[in-house]
Amino acid sequence: MPKVTYISHDGAERQVELPAGWTLMQGATLNGIDGIEGECGGSCGCATCHVYVDERFADKLAPMSEVEDEMLDCTESPREANSRLGCQIKATPEIDGIIVRLPEAQS
């Protein structure tokens, strides 16, 4: 199972293993990781699963959709070049070891 490290805004780290096909948002919410809300349940209809992806993994992710790009314009915390929505990143063997930082606020 791919491992994901979530780093909270205050620097606390938590690593979890996600079943293949789960999203980073699912992994965070189902493992009690604070800082990811996922209000829309993973339908790319809000921006409350905003994460900053470690740049070493950027080329291993599926391309951003137009809808995700638009939703990232609505984030509470500043959008950066490595901003993605956790509900749009699926756990795959290619992203094993991915590190994501959580923003200061989601909503």
Is a pLDDT exceeding 90 seen at residue 14?
Answer: yes
> Would residue 96 count as lying in a domain?
yes
What is the pLDDT, as a whole number, of residue 23?
Answer: 98
What is the pLDDT, as a whole number, of residue 107?
Answer: 83
> Would residue 91 count as lying in a domain?
yes
Average pLDDT on 17-35 reads 96
pTM above 0.75, yes or no: yes
Is a pLDDT exceeding 90 seen at residue 96?
Answer: yes
Is a pLDDT exceeding 90 seen at residue 19?
Answer: yes
Q: CA 16 to CA 10: how far, in whole Å?
A: 18
- Which residues make Cβ contacts (< 8 Å) with residue 63, sequence separation at least 6? none
Q: How many domains would you assign to the chain?
A: 1
What is the pLDDT, as a whole number, of residue 49?
Answer: 98
**Residues of the domain holding 70:** 3-101
Q: Which residues face 14 on adjacent strands?
A: 6
pLDDT in tens, 33-86: 999 999 999 999 999 999 999 999 999 999 999 999 999 999 999 999 999 999
CATH number at residue 41: 3.10.20.30
Residue 90: helix, strand or coil by DSSP? Answer: strand
Q: How confident is the model at residue 105 (pLDDT cuts 50, 70, 90)?
A: very high
> Would residue 106 count as lying in a domain?
no
